[in-house]
Chains A and B, each alone.
Chain A
């Protein structure tokens, strides 16, 4: 994209800068330090999509994803900060790869995509999840979970091709997918359609399309119950070994009638990521509960 005048892509959130500074001083096993992991988070295998019978796994587990997770604590409480940089690529003129797309200027696209991070943050910070994490040395600590998303020019955790197709489109794109359909291709790519009525990039839609896609950007699966498609929801296994099977259509990772991320199960990949960050830095986590 060209240099847009309306968006300052270079600015990293002050909160992230502060966390980076804290991480620089971290010591292994420290209970009052900040730790981080940046890059690929692999599938945990703790999320299984189910067939229509609601019991049999269909072989689809949580997807690998890319991002940055900070875990910071003062000894009794702390924060788990999930940071994603999204790079927008203007493909609205590339009718070879994306049939039916209509051109949008780089400047207009920059203005439109600037609405995506606030929409995602509103949806994913709405519940205000907490992780109660117990480990052998530091004891029980309560972490607030916070999601931060920014559009960037370079260095994106995800590269997103933006197209502008009315509705769902009628032709297939270069990946063989209906041209108007948005998707995430794990672990670090995706296609977003500006012409989808549910997008946050205009001023009129439901603002749930990109928050739904963000769920896939942290590894979650679609949890629709759809018998003709042989889908019977998703089974989640939590770090405390409890399980939940969700075969509902209304929530954000279903058909998006509920437009914010409400169920605790939607925080499960972040819980596992936070545990991985702590364990990679000398902590021995014995329990983690999403609240």
Chain B
């Protein structure tokens, strides 16, 4: 198995009323992981949304919408040699098969707890054809959507563009 030198990097953060939202991701990966054909831990390369309570009472439930299935939220653009961007997003699984996004109930058991939602890079294969996931520079866009709802209101995900580099696998020593 090969690895890429890609630590998780904090890239985005904003407040949703009583909840702090942070997004981290691995900015460098390889074709095997973005195409979902790699062995080993499928969450080695991932997006990670971290929720931390700012003022929500312990045990109070809220609705959280993970940005999945990806085709409802994500797009992927490849940066061409001239600097322009080519949208390579093309859903590979019909929405009737993926199912629609569904918020789920969550709650913080105690102050300071962080709830984590991990999205494997394997999922990128559902929105980009295999042959398009080649080494190069990409931009992953996550659109705005209703991320969080409590009894007091609803909060949107703040859109973000994340640079992603797909490199040829580096052989292990």
Contacts and interface: CB of A to CB of B under 8 A. Distances in A.
A124 B117 CA distance: 41
Interface in B86-123: 90-99, 102, 104, 119-120, 122-123
A175 B126 contact: yes
Interface in B101-157: 102, 104, 119-120, 122-123, 125-126, 129-130
Given A175-B125, A176-B69, A181-B99, A59 B119 contact: no
B125 A185 contact: yes
Given A182-B97, A185-B92, A174 B122 contact: yes
B126 A185 contact: yes
Contacts of B93: 175, 177, 183-185
A105 B66 CA distance: 32
A97 B44 CA distance: 12
B130 A60 contact: no
Contact of A221 (B41, B94, B130): B94
Contacts of A178: 69, 98-99, 102
A38 interface: no
B127 to A, nearest CB: 9
A172 B67 CA distance: 11
B98 A177 contact: yes
Interface residues of B, number: 28
Contacts of A170: 102, 104
A148 B95 CA distance: 29
Nearest to B123: A176
A170 B36 CA distance: 22
A203 interface: no
Interface string A41-58: 000000000000000000
Contacts of A182: 97
B17 interface: no
A224 interface: yes
A186 interface: yes
Interface residues of A, number: 27
Given A60-B91, A96-B43, A187-B130, A176 B119 contact: yes
A279 B104 CA distance: 53
Task: State the majority secondary structure of interface residues on A.
Answer: loop
Interface in B65-85: 66, 68-70
B42 interface: yes
A176 B126 CA distance: 8
Contact of B42 (A60, A97, A226): A97
A97 B40 CA distance: 11
Interface string A138-181: 00000000000000000000000000000010101011111001
A229 interface: yes
B90 A229 contact: no
A222 B126 contact: no
B98 to A, nearest CB: 5
Contacts of A59: 90
A172 B130 contact: no
Interface string A228-260: 010100000000000000000000000000000
Contacts of B126: 175-177, 185
Nearest to B41: A96
18 contacts: A60-B94, A96-B41, A174-B42, A175-B93, A176-B120, A177-B98, A178-B69, A181-B97, A183-B98, A185-B92, A185-B125, A185-B126, A187-B130, A221-B94, A222-B94, A222-B97, A224-B96, A229-B96
Interface of A: 59-60, 63, 96-97, 168, 170, 172, 174-178, 181-187, 189, 221-222, 224, 226, 229, 231
Given A97-B42, A185-B36, A231-B96, 16 more contacts: A97-B122, A174-B42, A174-B120, A174-B122, A174-B123, A175-B36, A175-B93, A175-B122, A176-B126, A178-B102, A181-B98, A182-B97, A185-B92, A185-B126, A186-B129, A229-B95
The 3 closest A-B pairs by CB, nearest first: A178-B99, A176-B68, A176-B123
